[in-house]
Amino acid sequence: MTRTGRWAAVALGVLLVVGVPVAIRAIPPSDPDVGAGELLAAVAGSEDHPWSGYVETEGALDLPVEDNFSDVGSLFGESTRMRAWWRGDDDWRVDRLLVAGETDLVHHSGLTIEWSYEGDRARLSRDPDIRLPRTADLVPPVLAERLLRDVDAGDVVRIDARRVAGVDAPGLRLEPTAPQASVDHVDLWADPETGVPLRIEVYAAGEPSPSFTTEFRDFSAATPATAATDFPAAPGIQVDHDDVLDIADAANQYAPLRPPDRVGGLAKSSTSDGAVGVYGVGLTQLIAIPMRDREADPLREQLGQTPGVRHLASGTAVSAGPLGVLLTGEDGDGGWLLAGTVTEDTLVEAAGDLARGTTYLQDDS
Amino acid sequence: MIRTEGLTKQYGRITAVDGIDLEVREGDVYGFLGANGSGKTTTVRMLLGLVLATSGSIEVLGRPMPASGRDVLPQIGSMVEGPAAYPQLSGRTNLALVDASGPGGGRRTRAGRIEDALARVGLDGVDKRPVRAYSLGMRQRLGLAAALLRTPRLLVLDEPTNGLDPQGIREIRRLLLDLNAAGTTVFLSSHLLAEIEQMCTRVGVLDRGRLVLQDELAHLQRPTGRMVVRTPDVAGVLGLFDGQVEGQDGDRLWIRVDDPATLNARLVGAGIRVAELAPEKRTLEEIVLEAAETSGDRR
Amino acid sequence: MIAVELRKLVLSRRTWVTILLIDALPTLVGILLAVTDLGPRPGTGPAFLSAVLTDGTLFPLAALAIVLPLFLPIAVAVTAGDAIAGEAQQGTLRYLLIRPVGRTRLLVAKLVSVMVFVVLTVLVVAATAYVVGVLLLGSEDATTGATSVSGSSLSTQELAGRTMLALAYAMLCMLGVAAIALFLSTVVTTPLAAALGTMGVLVTSTVLLTLDAADVLQPYLPTRYWLSFVDLFRDPILWRDVERGVLLQGVYVVVFLGAAWANFATKDITD
């Protein structure tokens, strides 16, 4: 074989190795003939469908990193790799995969075990009414359930299908109608067989690329084995019991106050009956957490260092993509932490409503 | 043994070897002469399949090269551009690695072959020290030993006496002549005229990539048919051999004659005093320079 | 020819000095851990290192995680980069080729020799680390076994089996490095250039992996899946990245060996 012949053979090999996968990916996905309403119904009907798979999320939201909220910042601001087994709402396991370890959530009967390999500890907690977002909230089926609550066929349109985890998934676009919404639209692709959402993209107004993406890279609609959602703790692992899951849970349980029923034009959710208020529904939601000065101060400092921070009359405001954050009060004060997918005006208005409408409980002791 | 036709090698736009037709016959001690940079080494490398010719054909031991390298090369012992060895290993280990890396020869007879080769080049007494500690001459001998390891039919050697002392040079020359007498063809590439002149039966001269001369040494150095006469009576000689004197340089005269004895008798008869009388014989140096000049003119 | 190359490998003092140096780092780390009892903070430092304090039998894995990103690839790049260019620089290449040794055979023999070096190094590191781990850091009760990354328990057999898999995976990753270095070794004239070129490729790959803008390239970078051997210790094993890693390294090996062959088979040997 001549020199040219040999190099041609090598080049051909490279071309095959690189070209074949590219070519296969370039084949346009087939788009099943399904209407927007029909697809929405299928997605809504898949809420109890079991699944398992490998999920990657990609967040472009530049949130301040503060100890009490560190996970939230990385969940929305970085990419996260997860694998999950979902037998039902009350029987699932979601592993967050780290380069040299993992953090797992295993959920059974209203109880969640959080296993951290690097910390070498397991924490057991009941699922509180109110808590900060965690990995398991971001897998496409769970996120879709939250986003699509109270959405009907009139709010969605069909978009082109897309291949997700090897599935030719038809797509839906959802545009929020509420005037308070900061989300421009949400695109969602679902498994045509089961209706399980496979990929979700959240867009802020005026942004060409999604602020947040979550999608399956591997997906199976088969029911996972019972063993898959177990946490068979190795001997020597001590499981601690946590009464308080996170700062939102703590505030909700112990802060001696009750927020008003309606802020910024959004009604309080039925799940919120403590000191933390959750308002709105679906794409347009806002959470209000009362904070003491020793929690509010470091957060205020972090917010102050975030690019694009604005010091308003009602507090310190930051917005990242569709997510708005407002911390009321001044240095040395406690205050309300308001965060949600709402416009800044809504946050300011809500802050005013909270300042006026909050009732303080009598100290019984 | 070696035959090339129109052998050419171009490196980019530079032509290193330009259409040479070598012919080395069985039993020759072939001297391949050329200045540094004349294309000698490139030619040797092409003969051995290290460098691929741009055009032309090569036949070694009657087989095309480099296509038949697998069959031809085991019958060739060679040294190209100086010896080379793994410096951290001893000479014996180096030879053992060389022997083991190619075909032919069993593992059992290896030690014997190595001792034989070492003895031939005068390294049989060498100890276990690594090649790193060898002198230039010792390395040269080790390289030769590696070439002789397979008792080759053809030896292709590039400057084999490089780095040797006069005693060593004589030994190696003797060795090569002995091998040649025993039937080994020797292809010797060198820039040392004296070395070639003393050993070779056949000479090829390379000048700027062209083979400007290729002939039997004896034929090149045959008497020219002229006599050189040195005499204080220059005028007398000129008178006596008018028309036959072809050259003069001081008291030295070149005279074309058919029979030297008659010339001598006539000089003696004429009472001319002769300091020296000899047939003209050209040195290899003169031949080479002349050939190079002629080819340079042609260009 | 393979036997000859292996003999050269074993006879070379550099082989043993390199292995010793590579072995020294995890041993030092092990001793320091045992003396100070200070593990890295969770989430920092090489994989498995924080777990080693409670279970010394995991130390071979931690040692692998320590040497795999830098030391081992450097050693492989130097060794494989020396394969052809080193022989050429020494002048021994021409004598090998006119011995004659087929050029493709020479390449294969060199690759095998480099792989033997890798296997040898990895096994020496693992064995030393095991001894250091068990002697200095102690082992957990043999009946309970070790803890997987997912928090479940691994029997001693499972741990041993998965460790073997991880070692094999690391060796395969190094085979990819060796193929790149071998190719460069047939292109450049000095072994140093080949080794540096290979390191350049690896450093570029590592840098691009940290860059979001290089997202589209990342699945194809040679170092992308190197640390995926950690996935073998999750429960159940996460094969996804390991499979991709094996495939990717396979492609690198085939492509670069092909390129080495294409370049070397008729290369003019002029040194």
- Whole-complex ipTM: 0.86
Please, are residues A100 and C65 in contact by the beta-carbon 8 Å criterion?
Answer: yes
On whether both A74 and A181 belong to a single domain, the answer is yes
Q: How far is CA C54 from the centre of its chain?
A: 27
Secondary structure E strands in A25-78: 51-59
Which residue, A240, A257, A278, sits at the end of a domain? A240
What is the domain extent for residue A118?
36-240
Same domain, A193 and A270: no
Mean pLDDT to the nearest integer, C92-119:
92
Q: Which residue of B has its CA nearest to C89?
A: B84
Tell me, yes or no, whether A5 lies in a domain.
Answer: no
Q: Which long-range contacts (CB under 8 A, 24 or more apart) does A312-318 make?
A: A312/A348, A314/A348, A314/A351, A314/A352, A314/A355, A315/A351, A317/A344, A317/A347, A317/A348, A318/A63, A318/A64
Shared domain check, A323 and A219? no
Interface size, chain A vs chain C, as Cβ–Cβ contacts under 8 Å: 100
Closest residue, chain C, to A235 (C-alpha): C144
* A23 within some domain: no
In a mutational test of the C interface, the residue from A102, A220, A239 whose CB has the highest number of chain C CBs within 10 Å is: A102
Question: Could you read off the pLDDT of C218-266 as tens digits, one per residue?
Answer: 888 999 999 899 999 998 899 999 999 999 999 999 999 999 999 999 8
Confidence (pTM):
0.88
Q: Which of C234, C258, C261 sits opposite A102 (nearest CB)?
A: C234
Q: How far is the C-alpha of B214 from the C-alpha of B25, rounded, in Å?
A: 12
CATH number of A150's domain: 2.50.20.10
Q: Which of B51, B84, B101 has the CB atom closest to C99's CB atom?
A: B101
A26 in any annotated domain: no
Residue A22 lies in a domain: no
Shortest distance between the Cα of C90 and any Cα of chain B, in A, equals 6
Query: Do A202 and A130 fall within a single domain?
Result: yes
Residue A24 domain flag: no
Q: Which of residues 120-159 of C touch B (CB under 8 A)?
A: none
* Same domain assignment for residues A209 and A275: no
Task: Give me the tens of pLDDT residue by residue for chain B, a chain 299 residues long.
Answer: 899 999 999 998 899 999 999 999 999 999 999 888 888 999 999 999 999 999 999 999 999 988 998 899 999 999 988 899 999 999 999 999 999 988 877 788 899 999 999 998 888 888 889 999 998 889 999 999 999 998 899 999 988 888 788 888 888 889 999 999 999 999 999 888 888 888 899 999 998 899 988 999 888 888 888 888 898 888 888 888 878 888 888 888 888 888 888 888 888 888 888 888 888 888 888 888 888 777 765 44
Q: Is A150 within a domain?
A: yes
Residue A115 sits at φ, ψ, to 5 deg, of: -110, 125
Q: Residue C141 — very low, low, confident or very high, per pLDDT cuts 50/70/90?
A: low
Round to the nearest angstrom and report the end-to-end CA distance of chain C: 22
Q: Is residue A28 part of a domain?
A: no
pLDDT for A136 equals: 92
Residues in C 13-32 with any Cβ partner in A closer than 8 A? none
Which partners does chain B have (≥3 C-beta pairs < 8 Å)? C
CB-based contacts of A264-267 (< 8 A; 24+ apart in sequence): A264/A180, A264/A342, A264/A346, A264/A347, A264/A349, A264/A350, A264/A353, A265/A179, A265/A180, A265/A346, A265/A349, A266/A178, A266/A180, A266/A342, A266/A346, A266/A350
Q: Which chains touch C (3 or more CB pairs under 8 A)?
A: A, B
Domain final position from A211, A240, A269: A240
- Tell me, yes or no, whether A76 and A163 share the same domain: yes
Q: Are residues A227 and A287 in the same domain?
A: no
Domain count for chain A, please give it: 2
Q: Determine the Cα–Cα distance for residues C244 and C242; give it in Å rounded to an integer.
A: 5
Same domain, A133 and A174: yes
- Closest Cα in chain C, distance from residue B85 (Å): 6
Alpha carbon of B29 to those of B128, B154, B198: distances in Å? Answer: 34, 10, 11
Cβ contact (<8 Å) for C11 and B93? yes
For B47, B57, B191, the CA distances from B38, given in Å and listed in that order, are: 16, 20, 10
Instruction: Identify whether residues A318 and A192 lie together within a single domain.
Output: no
Nearest-by-CA chain C residue for B54: C268
Same domain for A166 and A311?
no
A168/A47 same-domain check: yes
- Closest chain B CA to residue C271: B81
The answer to whether C206 contacts chain A (CB < 8 Å) is: no
The domain boundary, picked from A195, A219, A240, lies at: A240
> Domain check: are A113 and A228 in the same one?
yes
CATH of the domain at A285: 3.40.1000
| Phi, psi angle pair for C80, to nearest 5° | -75, -30
Q: For residue C98, which residues of chain B lie inside 8 Å, CB to CB?
A: 48-50, 73, 76, 78, 80
Specify if A10 maps to a domain.
Answer: no
